[in-house]
Amino acid sequence: MTSSTDRRVTANLALTLDGRYHGPGGPADFGTFVPYVTSDVARNHMTRVWETATTALLGRVNAEGFMGFWPSVAGDENADPRDRGYAKWLVNTEKVVLSTTLTEAPWERTRVVNAPAADVVADLKAAGAGDILVNSSPSLIKALLSADLIDRLYLMVLPEIVGGGERLFEDGLPASTWTLTRHETGELGEIAVIYDRRR
């Protein structure tokens, strides 16, 4: 049996008031979210999300989207410095991508693992230091919530009801209690919150 370090598992996601992480048109239906996730509050929140993390845990779809977009931001001197900070972190940090279809990693500092999220997190917690960030990968966040393995939730709550789309918090999750560690409200009514798991 592997021993565990004190690494925290953190997760980041933007949610509408009706608890959805995309609109009724499917995963690409993200238009409602854009004004809020590019606000000052959201960008400052995003900096808090990654600054203590040393590993990014991603699903394949998110990894492909992120690595197709963020590396160019890292080199863009006209980009918002907070966006560049995240982009540079993502490019340079250890990335673990969960996939049943990829056989090799198409990005630097990345390894592909075909295993349940809970098992991967147990292995990551057994070695290394720094937070393990599950960034905007809802299927992984759901699996880790089901296994009660998330220690911190970074959520952006948006003042919109989209009326359809996937929800993060579904019936059947184990009961849990969380402490509000930080909250900040933006001019558009978005709220950046940090909840820590009480154990």
Q: What percentage of the chain exceeds 70 in pLDDT?
A: 97
DSSP letter (8 states) at residue 20: B
Distance of CA 13 to the CA centre of its chain: 5
CATH 3.40.430.10 corresponds to the domain 9-198 = yes
Q: pLDDT digits over 73-102, tens only?
A: 999 999 999 999 999 999 999 999 999 998
Distance CA 90, CA 71 (A): 8
Q: pLDDT digits over 106-164, tens only?
A: 889 999 999 999 999 999 999 889 999 999 999 999 999 999 999 999 999 999 999 99
Taken in order 111, 9, 156, 24, the sign of the CA dihedral is positive
* Residue 177, helix vs strand vs coil: strand
Closest by alpha carbon to 85, among 73, 67, 96?
73
Distance CA 3, CA 195 (A): 26
Supply the pLDDT for residue 54: 97
Give the pTM.
Answer: 0.94
* Residue 186, helix vs strand vs coil: coil
Strands 53-59 vs 94-98: parallel, antiparallel or unpaired: parallel
Closest by alpha carbon to 188, among 14, 53, 27?
14
Both tokens of residue 39? 């606000």
Supply the pLDDT for residue 3: 56
Q: pLDDT digits over 39-67, tens only?
A: 999 999 999 999 999 999 999 988 998 98
Supply the pLDDT for residue 106: 84
Q: What is the mean pLDDT of the chain?
A: 94
What are the structural domain ranges in the chain?
Answer: 9-198
In the block, residue with structure tokens 């057994």: 126
Supply the pLDDT for residue 1: 45
* 164: Cα within 13 Å, side-chain hemisphere: 6
Both tokens of residue 33? 């979210």
What residues have CB less than 8 Å from 16, skipping those under 6 apart?
Answer: 32, 33, 157, 158, 160, 161, 162, 165
| Neighbour-count burial for 105-122, b at 16+ CB within 10 Å, e otherwise | bebeebebbeeebeebbb
Supply the pLDDT for residue 160: 95
